[in-house]
């Protein structure tokens, strides 16, 4: 399957002869031949088209905890892939070799939606994840892959910044079974200065996913020393999550390492992640996790009612299992929010790179 250019629905003609892309709040205005900031949507023949349909930077089988998702079939394998480009411009990007790529030849692997779904099933994966770069910008491909996966009872997972307009948002998330959305900070200053975006559209997406869809939602915040890790900001953020999304949406606090255009900041100390987790728990978030560091306590799941250890994790490896067959605490019977399979499935997998054909 070679690189494919497909028509898209989310754009309109402007009076000055340009067209406006209506997929994300950037609303790029495009002349003929011009690409948007995301690089994979381009004006061709007077329309906005997706030019990376069916192409990928490669496929890998990961444990679902790596996305990170801790309440969506824990320990199951997920076939992960991404494409090129991104609609945010984060200075700390940790996948900048693909997200900032201006070369389509990094898209080495090609796969139809049906091939991908079959590959996931044959590899024993419970789900397929759109990850490494934001699937919103290649949503026509992602939605077709999701439809092919549903035919084979394979779930789909989006790892995304949630920066999308209302109409495509409804079309995108109706196809997706679980999402980990980056809540990058809780100030518009951070979103604008460091990501070239705005906070409010992301908050709207979070409320939409949680209240209007069946998509399982978890949140991730990469903590950057001095930029988004103050007690006050973390208290504001976690209070908003509890008040607007409720206490059952899990939050992950992960460690930054100097990369791309932010090599002048230090790594996130493990103590900062622990502090953020404690603030979230004190504010009322029932399940808060640390990530990118070895922290068995901060990575494990506990019953919010009786405190019993429900899912023990060491890095991405599952240890003890304290849920009954209905996904409830085996000690007190309180239901754990999320989606859980049989205990036998929770053998953590090691990342494996595969070819799809
Ligand atoms: S999806 Fe791409 S082309 Fe469309 S508005 Fe966003 S950045 Fe611009």
User: pLDDT digits over 24-48, tens only?
Assistant: 999 999 999 999 999 999 999 999 9
Q: Tell me the average pLDDT across 314-340.
A: 94
Residue 16: pLDDT over 70: yes
**Which residue, judged by its Cα, is nearest atom 5 of ligand 1?**
27
**DSSP one-letter string for 139-185:** HHHHHHHHHHHHHTT-EEEEEE-----HHHHHHHHTT-SEEEEE---
User: Across the strands, what pairs with 30?
Assistant: 19
One CATH from 3.40.50.1240, 3.20.20.70, 3.40.50.2300, 3.40.50.970 for 55-295+337-354: 3.20.20.70
Is the pTM higher than 0.75? The answer reads yes
Q: Is the pLDDT of residue 129 over 90?
A: yes
Pairing of strands 127-130, 178-182: unpaired
pLDDT at 222: 96
Phi, psi of 191 (to 5 degrees): -60, -40
SS3 at position 224: coil
pLDDT at residue 69 above 70? Answer: yes
Per-residue pLDDT band for 324 (boundaries 50, 70, 90) equals very high
Is the beta carbon of 118 within 6 A of some atom in ligand 1?
no
Structure confidence at residue 46 (pLDDT): 96
Ligand 1 neighbourhood includes 27 CB (under 6 angstroms)? yes
48 CA: nearest ligand 1 atom: 3
Q: What are phi and psi of 296, to 5 degrees?
A: -55, -40
Task: Tell me the percentage of the chain whose pLDDT exceeds 70.
Answer: 90
Domain limits of the chain? 4-51, 55-295+337-354
Span 216-245, average pLDDT: 97
Residue of the CA atom closest to atom 4 of ligand 1: 21
Span 5-16, average pLDDT: 96
Q: Which residues are annotated as a binding site for [4Fe-4S] cluster?
A: 86, 90, 93
The residue whose CB lies within 8 Å of the most ligand 1 atoms, and thus the one to mutate among 36, 138, 201, is 36
């Amino acid at each position: 399957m070679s690189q494919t250019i497909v028509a898209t629905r989310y754009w309109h003609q402007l009076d000055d002869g340009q067209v406006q892309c209506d997929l994300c709040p950037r609303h790029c205005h495009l002349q003929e031949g011009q690409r948007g900031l995301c690089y994979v949507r381009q004006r061709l023949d007077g329309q906005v088209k997706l030019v990376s349909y069916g192409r990928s930077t490669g496929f890998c089988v990961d444990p679902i905890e790596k996305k990170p998702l801790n309440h969506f079939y824990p320990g199951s394998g997920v076939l992960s892939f991404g494409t090129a480009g991104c609609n945010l411009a984060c200075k700390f990007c940790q996948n900048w070799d693909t997200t900032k790529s201006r070369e389509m030849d990094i898209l080495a692997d090609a796969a139809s939606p049906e091939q991908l779904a079959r590959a996931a099933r044959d590899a024993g994966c419970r789900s397929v994840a759109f990850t490494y770069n934001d699937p919103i910008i290649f949503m026509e491909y992602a939605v077709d892959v999701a439809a092919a996966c549903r035919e084979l009872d394979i779930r789909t997972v989006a790892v995304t910044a949630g920066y999308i307009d209302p109409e495509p948002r409804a079309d995108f998330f109706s196809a997706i079974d679980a999402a980990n959305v980056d809540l990058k900070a809780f100030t518009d200053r951070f979103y604008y200065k460091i990501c070239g975006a705005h906070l409010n559209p992301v908050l709207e997406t979070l409320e939409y996913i949680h209240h209007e869809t069946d998509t399982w939602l978890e949140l991730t915040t990469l903590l950057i020393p001095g930029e988004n890790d103050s007690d006050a900001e973390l208290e504001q953020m976690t209070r908003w999550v509890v008040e607007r999304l409720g206490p059952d949406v899990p939050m992950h606090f992960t460690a930054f390492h100097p990369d791309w255009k932010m090599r002048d900041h230090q790594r996130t100390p493990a103590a900062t992640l622990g502090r953020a987790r404690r603030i979230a728990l004190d504010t009322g978030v029932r399940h808060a996790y640390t990530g990118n560091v070895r922290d068995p306590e901060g990575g494990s799941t506990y019953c919010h009612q009786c405190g019993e250890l429900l899912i023990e994790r060491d890095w991405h490896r599952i240890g003890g299992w304290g849920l009954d067959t209905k996904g409830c605490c085996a000690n007190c019977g309180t239901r754990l929010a999320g989606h859980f399979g049989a205990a036998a499935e929770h053998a953590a997998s090691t990342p494996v790179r595969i070819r799809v054909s």
